[in-house]
Structures are given as structure tokens and as C-alpha cells.
Structure 1
């Protein structure tokens, strides 16, 4: 008797979920979208694409060396994020790789970060992304690095 009641309850729940999935009555369904010329959308901000091909806006952290993780940006505080460029202050954490990278130590360097060269993202051409990053070291910098370094960003 108990298994019959359980089967009945499961069957009723299944039927109710099917009815809900079938949708609302046609009067409650949305109508066609308005004509394209009547829809006005604000331009979307460009994104920065990370190592995992995720689009980010104003990230707090950003990996520069995707292959080995030996250089990353942390504590990013964005003062500008616009359709043409972005800028932030933060810290570049870099492995000195001495005597080799697995045994190296990470060191922190204050930087000003600039993003620019906005263009369509190959993965999603409707999305604009920053394609260049510039780091300007504010004090000490890693051995062999110029005061200002510029890198292309992945697409």
C-alpha cells in the first residue's frame, strides 16, 4: 500500500512538472520582438579576455602568463573603463625564476595598467575587447624589464 501511494505521488509530481514545462497559455506568451529600428541599446563596454576565454569587465585580478602563472596582476582598482581605453592601479606579481621557475620566489611591483586597441573579439565578434595592455612600473621592477612594457592580449 505504501509503495502505491509513493508511485502515485511521484506520478502526480511528474505530471505537474510536464504541465508547467508545456508553457503558459498563448495569451501570456511574449509577442514578437519590436522592430530593430525601435530598439535602442547603450553601447556595451569592451571586455578583457582571460586565460580561460572568459570576458571580464574591471577584474580585480588578471593572469598575464597563462602558460605558467609566473606573472599576474592583483589588487586592480580601475579609474577608467570606456569604449576606447581603461586604466587601473595595481600590483604585478612576478616569479624571479631563480634558480629556475619552480624554485623561484614571487615579488610584487606597483604598476599603472592601461588597456587599449579595442576591436571585435574573434570568439564573439559582436563583443568588443581590449587587445593591448601596457604596464608602467611605479618604483622597482623585475630584472630586465623596462619601466614601461606593452603586450598584445589574446583574442
Structure 2
């Protein structure tokens, strides 16, 4: 799926995700759903460190400085090919600079995709994140 189609798909469900987050309606707890029978779900870690997990409650989006991260994640789908969830994005506004900046928090819809094989041969790891907020659509390589 190309980036434009993925962004359009994510934008189409943004209202539902933002509404659900704002009204405290939880996304149903997602079992590790697999698109292809026999293929285990992809995993995530924190910037190449820490344990590999499914459905993390927190994620760092900018690994170099952690000035953009997600918290309070609830996942509606987690599979071998992609994951969709809602949570809160915390963005350092870097005013007057990033070291002294304050964080802005906004509801976010998150789409993970592009699973890549792990070096140890023990599954795959999502290598791309698309985050949709009221500010727009942004892509990350977490």
C-alpha cells in the first residue's frame, strides 16, 4: 500500500480515533491478530533496545532525542503486516530550544507497517509508523 493510500485510509478513520480517545471510549483489547495463518505478529521495541513486544502502551517516535513519543496506546489491530491504534502523541515544541522546551499532547491515530526481519531470525519488527493527528499526517521510522 503506498504512502498516499495509507495516509488517506488513516485520515478516514481519524475522526473515529480522535473521538474515541477524547470521550474515553476504549478500543477493544486486540488479540494478536495474524493476517496470514501461521505467521506470528510483528514486534516493536524502543529504538532498537529493550524487549520486543506486541501492543506496547508507549513508543518513542524520534529515537535520537525522544522529543516525540506516544503514550496510553490502545491497539484495535496487531498483526504480522500492520497495526492500528489510538493514543496520545507528546511533541516537544522546542521553545526557546529543545532542551528547555515543553511538550504538547494531542490525541493520535497510529498505523504501523513495513515489517522487517529481525537479525536473530526470530520474527519481524515494524519499521514504519504513520501518525495522524489534528495537525496532519507524519511518518516516522521508530
TM-score, normalised with respect to structure 2: 0.67
Give 1 or 2 for the bigger CA radius of gyration: 1
Q: CA RMSD in A?
A: 1.7
Unaligned runs of 5+ in 2: 1-36
Distance 1:116 1:70 in 2: 22
1:41-120 map, 5 Å: 42-51=38-47, 52-120=49-117
The answer on whether the counterparts of 1:50 and 1:56 sit within 8 Å (CA) in structure 2 is no
Q: What is the aligned residue count?
A: 105
The answer on whether the counterparts of 1:72 and 1:93 sit within 8 Å (CA) in structure 2 is yes
Deviation sequence 1:80-116 (CA, Å, 0-9, x none)? 0011110000111011010111211110011100011
1:114-129 map, 5 Å: 114-122=111-119, 124-129=120-125
What SS does structure 1 have at the residue aligned with 2:87?
Answer: strand
Give the equivalent residue in structure 1 for 2:34. Answer: none
The yes-or-no answer on 1:149 pairing with 2:134 is: no
User: Which structure: greater strand fraction?
Assistant: 2
Return the structure number with greater relative CO, CA threshold 8 A, min gap 6.
Answer: 2
What SS does structure 1 have at the residue aligned with 2:99?
Answer: helix
1:119 Cα deviation (Å)? 2.1
Give the equivalent residue in structure 1 for 2:16. Answer: none
User: Which structure: greater helix fraction?
Assistant: 1
Distance 1:72 1:151 in 2: 11
1:43 Cα deviation (Å)? 3.1
